[in-house]
């Protein structure tokens, strides 16, 4: 009985700490340990502190200058995620003076360290000609490497390159494949672009029901563009579809094409 009583007392105390003491404005003991590790020079902890400072979460005050300092300390130890985040600050001039040359340098270091988001970022720079000479072929090379590593945003970008014929011949079949890979990782843009493909019959048969589900799923993922496409598409659907609720109740799944009942989620939690 003593052991049981001790267990419930300890458990109750932890609940008290986590719900009443460690609030959004007060760092938890876990966060304080991260701070200690960061001050001791651990690169991953320094990176985490930088992230906390850029988001204002975990009880840490929003401070881009402090974030830059933490990212610099971590990046100096060769920690690729920190090199990438620091490069992003230089690219957009957040907490530092905008410096595209430094952004490119840091992205390259992080990419060479095997960090796919940095490789994708390089693709963006080459595609837009930011800090480097514009080159769709070079952008494609970076996107492909990041996409093959499994990064959803890069897979979506590969779809965009294929659909638009950027750096490669236009290929809607390849675009469809890449969009599906990204959509399987809940990429809202990819779902919306799949909707465009099925609505317009780009390399596939026109399938308005499937397009509607793609837009519907993208809108659930808070992709604003899809919220415009879906109502527009609904206005073009046959009246009997509206009367039967066909596209609302028994739509065609965006990814599989299987006819199934679409059930909206009971609740959604935003990241």
> Which of 104, 119, 134 is the last residue in one of the domains?
104
CA–CA distance, 10 with 20 (Å, rounded to integer): 15
CA–CA distance, 222 with 248 (Å, rounded to integer): 18
Q: Is residue 172 a part of any domain in this protein?
A: no
CA–CA distance, 37 with 14 (Å, rounded to integer): 23
- For 129, the token pair is 């000609």
> Which of 82, 104, 126 is the last residue in one of the domains?
104
pLDDT for residue 16:
46
pLDDT for residue 200:
95
Which CA distances in Å does 128 have to 112, 121, 136, 178?
A: 21, 11, 9, 21
Classify 252 as helix, strand or coil. strand
> Which of 104, 127, 157 is the last residue in one of the domains?
104
Using only the alpha carbons of the chain, give its radius of gyration. Answer: 24
The total number of residues written for the chain in this structure: 271
Q: Is residue 29 a part of any domain in this protein?
A: no
Alpha-carbon torsion 108, 110, 112, 117, what sign? Answer: negative
CA–CA distance, 6 with 25 (Å, rounded to integer): 30
Q: Is residue 198 a part of any domain in this protein?
A: yes
Classify 28 as helix, strand or coil. coil
pLDDT for residue 23:
44
Strand spans (E) along the chain: none
pLDDT for residue 25:
47
Q: Is residue 142 a part of any domain in this protein?
A: no
Alpha-carbon torsion 255, 256, 260, 263, what sign? Answer: negative
pLDDT for residue 119:
98
Please tell me the pTM assigned to this model: 0.81
Q: Is residue 123 a part of any domain in this protein?
A: no
DSSP single-letter state for residue 132: S
Which CA distances in Å does 163 have to 73, 201, 222?
A: 41, 12, 23
Enclosing domain of residue 208: 186-271
**Other Cβ atoms closer than 10 A to 120:** 27
Q: What is the pLDDT along the chain (271 residues), one digit of tens a residue?
A: 555 554 555 455 444 444 444 444 455 555 678 888 898 899 999 999 999 999 887 677 899 999 999 999 999 999 999 999 999 999 999 999 999 999 999 999 999 999 999 999 999 999 999 999 999 999 999 999 999 999 999 999 999 999 999 999 999 999 999 999 999 999 999 999 999 999 999 999 999 889 988 998 998 888 888 888 888 888 887 777 665 555 555 566 888 877 655 444 333 333 3
CA–CA distance, 188 with 87 (Å, rounded to integer): 25
pLDDT for residue 260:
56
Q: Which residues contact 122 (CB under 8 A, 6 or more apart)?
A: 104, 107, 108, 111, 139, 142
Q: Is residue 52 a part of any domain in this protein?
A: yes
What's the domain count of the chain? 2
- For 69, the token pair is 């300092």
Q: Is residue 92 a part of any domain in this protein?
A: yes
Q: Is residue 265 a part of any domain in this protein?
A: yes
Residue 128 near residue 95, CB atoms below 8 Å: no
């Amino acid at each position: 009985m003593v052991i049981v009583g001790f267990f419930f007392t300890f458990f109750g105390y932890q609940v008290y700490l986590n719900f009443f003491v460690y609030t959004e404005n007060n760092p938890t003991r876990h966060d304080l340990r991260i701070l200690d590790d960061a001050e001791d020079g651990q690169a991953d902890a320094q990176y985490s502190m930088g992230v906390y400072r850029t988001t204002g979460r975990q009880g840490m005050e929003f401070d881009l200058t402090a974030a830059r300092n933490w990212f610099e300390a971590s990046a100096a130890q060769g920690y690729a995620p920190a090199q990438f985040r620091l490069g992003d600050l230089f690219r957009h001039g957040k907490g530092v003076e905008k410096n595209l040359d430094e952004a490119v340098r840091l992205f390259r270091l992080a990419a060479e360290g095997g960090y796919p988001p940095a490789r994708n970022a390089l693709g963006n720079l080459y595609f837009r000609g930011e800090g480097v000479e514009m080159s769709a072929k070079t952008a494609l090379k970076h996107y492909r490497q990041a996409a093959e590593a499994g990064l959803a945003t890069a897979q979506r970008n590969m779809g965009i390159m294929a659909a638009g014929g950027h750096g490669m011949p236009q290929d809607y079949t390849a675009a469809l494949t890449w969009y599906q890979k990204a959509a399987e990782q809940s990429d809202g843009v990819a779902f919306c672009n799949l909707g465009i493909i099925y609505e317009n019959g780009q390399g596939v048969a026109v399938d308005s029901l499937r397009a509607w589900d793609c837009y519907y799923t993208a809108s659930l993922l808070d992709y604003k563009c899809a919220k415009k496409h879906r109502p527009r598409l609904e206005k073009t659907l046959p009246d009997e579809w509206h009367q039967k609720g066909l596209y609302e109740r028994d739509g065609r799944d965006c990814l599989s094409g299987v006819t199934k009942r679409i059930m909206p989620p009971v609740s959604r939690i935003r990241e």
